[in-house]
Amino acid sequence: MATTEASGIAEIVGRLLVPLCAASGALVLAGFFFPTLVGEAVTGPAWLTVALVFFSSGLCYIALLPYSDDGAEPAAADVILRVRKTDIRGAVRDFLTQHEPAVLAFPVLVFAAFFGLQIALPTRTTSAVDTAAAAVLRGGGPLFLATVFLSVCYCLFLLVGPWGDIKLGGPDTEPSYTYPTYFTLVFTAGIAAGLVFWGPTEALFHYDQPPPYVGAPAHSPDAVTGALLYTLFHWGVSAWSAYAVIGVPIAYFAFTRDAPLRVSTVLAPILGSDGLDSGWTKLVDTLAVFATIGGIATSVALVSQQFLAGINYQWDVATGHVGPVLFVGGLTLIFVVSSVSGIPRGIRRIAGLNVVLFGLFALLVAAVGPQSFILRHGTRALGAYVVEFVPLSIHTGGRWVAEWTVWNWSWWFSWAPFAGLFVAALSRGRRVRTVVFTTVVATSAATMVWFLLLGGTSLFIQETGRADILAAIARRGGSEAVAGFPLFASLPLGELLMFLFLALIIVFMTTSADTSTLVVSVLATRRGLAPSSAHIAFWGVFQGAVAVSVLVLGGAETLQALAVLTGGPFAVISLVAAGGLTVTWYRDEQGHTSLIRRAVRKLPDIQTHHDIDPPDEK
């Protein structure tokens, strides 16, 4: 999944980015931590512009380093000369002929039709999509709940069962990345800024309006535990298992059966290797492209509101209508540069920075937050999560489950195509057990620690009255985007936490958007061809354009609901994928040993050793 062109002009760009980042960074830090020094010199949208220049120049510089790789990249002057001599018509013709026609045309036409209807008939469009989404979530609720529960069970079986020992690519294949890098790429690609967006918020909502399953009065101690319980449930192993049940089949058939690295490869057991170029596979890949673009674009639009809320909260300035466009434009520049630079450079490095910021922020919250409150209620919530996991997973009753749990499962499955494909691409040389452990267990552990820290702290601040976060949300029309800022303002080191929080919004969104851009360009390129830099840049800009259109024309929640509808087909596809993979392994992968059998076999050895070498008696 690497690009076919090197960016030789990166050296010149990088030299320009360093002073730009330094100058804008000095102004941002002065304005953030020492606002009296800056005063009214910079106001309004200018603050947003300066902040975006700082983040964009810094992250793009990281993505473009190093400028050369043993002389493999052409000089910048050669690249400029080649661009000047490029035949525009030929370039456009090559661009079009190297794309899969259906995968290129379908998303473009669908999004154009959606925004056309949003302009002409906004009310009726929103009503129709919302009605369809409600029908799918309520009518298909049992399907989503059953699919997610079966996915968790299947992942558990792969962890301890004999097939977890299968090495993807063959016994002699070595992994392409170290394990820390592997975990970092998987985690940052699959979670996006939803982790930042909902971290301080979801538990508060469940505390204010407890889920019916919890059965506790609002704002009570039991409601605190129940709120954390459901937050863990929505972001824990159930959610991440959706990626594994798509990613493992793709990786197995791609690396051991020479199938193409595409989402539709999960159909290999049904269609056979010769049938992976059929209309059904093109339909699956096209639907995956639409789901990915819709999901990423709406996420970009929604997190832009959170970032702008932070700018407004900190500096008390309104960015107007130009603010969202500036934010999405800056973010698009970052993830386009990152995705074009490829996995070994921009994607890997920004993901590493993401994890460092994530860990630093979590440590600071743990240091200044209510440790005893988090430990007490977090322990109870974790215990309840283990004990109540099966009843929670199969609890189907009520509108609340449809609007929260089923919606979450559908959203995770709509992201599963691109996240699963990316997991598969990274997993060559890994054992199936390692892939599942990383994709489900390790990522869930990091996610749940985050939600216990952020959710527990926000609940403590709300319950003790140090800040009325729910009232702040209500004053902003119910927007959950503002929840983090009154929370951090009430804590020691609040300004530092707020700054890191804003940085995390940008970096988390970048690490998912650059991955999705690369995956979409792979799916849209004809089989047998690697996506060019032009292909990757096109799909990155297209995702940014969709996000801008949503912000300008409205309908972010409507497009999000439309993207969520794709979760239904991919939930079914995941069941087909798991079933086909199981049949294939049962037929062709005999002779592997489960972890349980290995443990049992060691018991006689331990006993024998005990009998031969008894302890000395006195």
User: Which pLDDT tens digit goes with each residue over 550-580?
Assistant: 887 776 777 778 778 888 889 999 999 999 9
pLDDT (average), residues 289-301: 85
For residue 500 the two structure tokens come to: 């890191």
The amino acid at residue 253 is F
Q: Which residues contact 364 (CB under 8 A, 6 or more apart)?
A: 493, 496, 497, 500
CA distances in angstroms from 121 to 59, 118, 553, listed in the order given = 40, 6, 12
166 vs 616 pLDDT, higher one: 166
Distance separating alpha carbons of residues 17 and 173, to the nearest angstrom: 39
Has residue 282 got a pLDDT over 70? Answer: yes
For a pLDDT cut of 70, what percent of the chain falls above it?
87
Specify the pLDDT at position 227. 95
Low-confidence winner among 142-151, 316-325, 532-541 (lowest mean pLDDT) = 316-325
Distance separating alpha carbons of residues 152 and 67, to the nearest angstrom: 43
pLDDT (average), residues 132-147: 87
**Is the distance from CB of 167 to CB of 445 less than 8 angstroms?**
no
Give 44's pLDDT tier (boundaries 50, 70, 90): low
Task: Provide the β-strand partners of residue 431.
Answer: 167
pLDDT, tens digit (0-9, with 9 covering 90-100), for 365-406: 999 999 999 999 999 999 999 999 999 999 987 889 988 999
Half-sphere exposure of 18 (CA within 13 A, CB side): 7
Has residue 515 got a pLDDT over 80? Answer: yes
Instruction: Note the pTM of the prediction, 2 decimals.
Output: 0.88
pLDDT, tens digit (0-9, with 9 covering 90-100), for 52-65: 888 888 888 888 87
Has residue 84 got a pLDDT over 60? Answer: no
Q: Which residues contact 26 (CB under 8 A, 6 or more apart)?
A: none
**Is the distance from CB of 350 to CB of 59 less than 8 angstroms?**
yes
Distance separating alpha carbons of residues 1 and 348, to the nearest angstrom: 13
Distance separating alpha carbons of residues 251 and 591, to the nearest angstrom: 20
Neighbours of 78 (CB within 10 A): 12
The amino acid at residue 334 is I
pLDDT, tens digit (0-9, with 9 covering 90-100), for 404-449: 999 999 989 989 998 999 999 999 999 999 999 999 999 999 999 9
Give 83's pLDDT tier (boundaries 50, 70, 90): very low
Specify the pLDDT at position 182. 94
CATH level 3 topology of 110-608: Amino acid/polyamine transporter I (1.20.1740)
Has residue 8 got a pLDDT over 60? Answer: no
Distance separating alpha carbons of residues 599 and 605, to the nearest angstrom: 10
Give 87's pLDDT tier (boundaries 50, 70, 90): low
Neighbours of 321 (CB within 10 A): 10
For a pLDDT cut of 90, what percent of the chain falls above it?
34
Sign of CA dihedral 547, 553, 557, 559: negative
The amino acid at residue 459 is L
pLDDT, tens digit (0-9, with 9 covering 90-100), for 469-491: 998 888 877 777 788 888 998 99
Give 88's pLDDT tier (boundaries 50, 70, 90): low
Specify the pLDDT at position 230. 95
**Is the distance from CB of 458 to CB of 204 less than 8 angstroms?**
yes
CA distances in angstroms from 324 to 120, 298, 302, 498, listed in the order given = 22, 13, 10, 19
Give 77's pLDDT tier (boundaries 50, 70, 90): very low
Has residue 82 got a pLDDT over 50? Answer: no
Has residue 307 got a pLDDT over 80? Answer: no
pLDDT, tens digit (0-9, with 9 covering 90-100), for 188-236: 988 877 788 888 999 999 999 999 998 889 888 889 999 999 999 999 9
For residue 163 the two structure tokens come to: 């097939």
The secondary structure element, H or E, covering residue 160 is helix 141-160
Specify the pLDDT at position 224. 93
Give 600's pLDDT tier (boundaries 50, 70, 90): confident
Specify the pLDDT at position 35. 66
The amino acid at residue 515 is T
For residue 375 the two structure tokens come to: 């430990």
Per DSSP, the three-state class of 167 is strand
Give 248's pLDDT tier (boundaries 50, 70, 90): very high
Quickly count helices (H) and strands (E) in the chain: 30, 0
Q: ∠169-171-177 over CA atoms, to 5°?
A: 60
pLDDT (average), residues 7-17: 62
**Is the distance from CB of 535 to CB of 525 less than 8 angstroms?**
yes
Has residue 498 got a pLDDT over 90? Answer: no
Average of per-residue pLDDT values in the chain: 83
533 vs 207 pLDDT, higher one: 207
98 by Cβ neighbours in 10 Å (0-12 / 13-18 / 19+) ranks as middle
**Is the distance from CB of 139 to CB of 227 less than 8 angstroms?**
no
Place of tokens 């049938």: 275
Helix residue spans in 316-442 (DSSP H): 322-341, 348-368, 371-387, 389-394, 398-401, 407-426, 432-436
Distance separating alpha carbons of residues 41 and 44, to the nearest angstrom: 10
Q: Which residues contact 103 (CB under 8 A, 6 or more apart)?
A: 282, 285, 286, 289, 523, 524
Give 456's pLDDT tier (boundaries 50, 70, 90): very high
**Is the distance from CB of 235 to CB of 454 less than 8 angstroms?**
no
Specify the pLDDT at position 74. 45
Has residue 350 got a pLDDT over 70? Answer: yes
Place of tokens 């985690």: 187
